[in-house]
Structure 1
Amino acid sequence: MNQVSIIGLGPMGRAMASAYLDAGYAVTVWNRSPGKDAALLARGARRAGSAAEAVAASRLSIVSLIDVDAVYTALGEADLDGRVLANLSSDVPEKARAAAEWARGRGASYLTGGVNVPPTGIGQEGASIFISGPAEVYEEQRAALDVLAATDYRGADPGHAQLYYQLNMIMFWTAYTGWYQAVAVARANGLTAADILPYAGYTADSMRGFYEGSAPLADADDHDGTHARLAMCAASLEHVLHTAADSGVDTGILAAHAELYRRGVDAGFGADGTARLIGLLGAPETA
């Protein structure tokens, strides 16, 4: 029988354990605090008395903890020799690389993962997970990882899965916070989230076209402003900023955006395209 251990039973870990049970795996689970495994045990999962015991129960352990530091704490005393750790916890790329070295030093194979869906998406069609690490380890464990979501292998560098994941999170969190900013302004003007939801959906759908149109311009350092001059966009952002201010809501997020566009205009790029902002956002040596 296929076997897997799940280290960490937050909402994501529980969803992963459930997906493996659905797929007929023998599942061993461990969580630092008790009480989160009852439903899984009722379905046939086995509770490990420690993280070390959970790792010993299966060649593959799926780790779903708050960050890499929690991995060190949980598995500090475990015998990792000959085991495969697939760390699907969120963290920064450099910490993922350090964790891979730590695991290798203790005889384990290590894969990094970035999960692109919430817990409700685990095991569902359309779900995906970035994976990076040794190709041979990925191929060995691919079928097991695909139980959770379709895996998107990003190469041998253990930091790359987290890099791709965090890039997605940059886009996700700025967009999601933008939605709440819009709801706050709507509410201040007597509207509800439901009132603006159809238009929010349209805007979200339209962003794909903006990404696809701007990507080749960005990669070519093409700053043609024929269709979208930076100065025009800066003026639009000022209108957005003042609409929020006139509504009496917090403008901190919008002010930061407006300031970036002002910097571009002040630097003499007003007639250029908005891809100029990438240089303003980049590290000094690349700006």
Structure 2
Amino acid sequence: MTRHSAHHSPLTLLGLGAMGIALGRTWFAADHPLTVWNRTPARAAALAAEGAEAADSAAEAVAANSLIVVCLMDDDSVQKVLTGTDLTGKDLVNLTTCTPAQARARAEWARERGARYLDGGVMAVPPMAGVPEAGGYVFYSGSQELFEQHEETLSVPLGTRYVGRDAGFAALHDVALLSAMYGMLAGAAHAFALIRKEDIDPASFAPLLADWLTAMAPSVHRTADQLRSGDYTEGVLSTLAMQVAGTPTFLQTAEQQGVSPELLSPYFALMRRRLADGDGVEDLTGVIDLLVR
């Protein structure tokens, strides 16, 4: 008996940054034969010391296994690393952050070189790898056949969510969720700025803020229903006209607290535009139509 059973598929991992190292260690700990390569050899040596096979070149690493996982800095890095490698018959899984257009172009690039392609959008930070209860996962899109064949292996470090054959969908889901996160963080930053000069403990305020954001989060389901039906007045709890009428209070409070309104003003401006163009009894959903060019 060898250390690796037949059920533990071998794979190659290109790129050993913080996430790559975390993924590699999780796969190796789960008894998957692992070949690694990194532009900086010292990082590969660290995993080699734990028992992984360190390749001398990207081409050698790609040749070692049929399943190739790439976790590099950007799409340009993927191009540079994979140029000169033989991808014929390979299953290429790209976990490098990219745009939807880059993912689609990379899928075609891989197909032209005889490889199946799966793009991944990682919704996790390195410490979440190998810790199922942490809730980290990866969006996958592209070859459904590749995904189904390797799902068991791909799900070892992080959960998997297949979102369609369009190779750009994983990146699109990734960026869409992260964009919402930054919007939330912008609102939180404004809220903390408002209390910054007052005798209010930020640590005491934080649970109130977290609970409020949690309570508001389910409103996205109403927005989705309205977008699907096209009826922006469906289930409205607070009309656009009412909310626009209240915006001066937020701006005046910011001014009185000595806080820049630059995080709120663009959204309020869109709300006013939508009110001027649309129906005051609808929800805020119409703002989305103003954003779509």
Task: Give the TM-score taking structure 2 as reference length.
Answer: 0.88
1:179 aligned residue: 188
Deviations 1:163-199 (A, max 9, x none): 2222212212211232233223332334443122101
State which of 224, 239, 243 in structure 1 corresponds to 2:249.
Answer: 239
Contact 2:16 2:38 (C-alpha < 8 Å) held by counterparts: yes
Question: Are 2:146 and 1:137 equivalent residues in the alignment?
Answer: yes
SS of residue in 1 equivalent to 2:264: helix
Question: What is the RMSD computed on CA atoms of the aligned residues?
Answer: 2.0
- 8 Å contact 1:188–1:249 — kept in the other structure? no
Which structure 2 residues correspond to residues 192-203 of structure 1 after superposition, within 5 A?
Answer: 192-203=201-212
1:206 paired with 2:215, answer yes
Segment drifting more, 241-250 vs 19-28: 241-250
Per the alignment, residue 274 of structure 1 pairs with: 284
1:25 to 28, 32, 49: 32
Deviation at 1:80, TM superposition (A): 1.2
Question: Which among 111, 118, 133 is matched to residue 118 of structure 2?
Answer: 111
* Equivalent in 135, 151, 154 of residue 160 of structure 2: 151
Q: 2: distance between equivalents of 1:188 and 1:57?
A: 60
- The structural deviation recorded for 1:280 is 1.7
What is the CA-CA distance between 1:98 and the residue it aligns to?
0.4
The 10-residue stretch of structure 1 (153-162 or 217-226) with the greater mean CA deviation from structure 2: 217-226
Q: Paired residue for 1:164?
A: 173
1:67 corresponds to: 74
Aligned residue type for 2:179: I
With over 3 angstroms needed to count, the CA separation of the structure-2 counterparts of 1:25 and 1:94, relative to structure 1, is same
The equivalent of 2:230 in structure 1 is: 221
Whole-Å separation in 1 of the counterparts to 2:286 and 2:202: 33
Residues 33-42 or 157-166, more deviating = 33-42
Aligned pair partner of 1:260 in 270, 276, 291: 270
Matched, 1:53 2:60: yes
- Unaligned 5+ segments in structure 2 are none
Matched, 1:123 2:133: no
Aligned-residue identity in percent: 36
Q: How many matched pairs?
A: 283
Are the equivalent residues in 1 in contact too, given 2:45–2:54 (CA < 8 A)? Answer: no
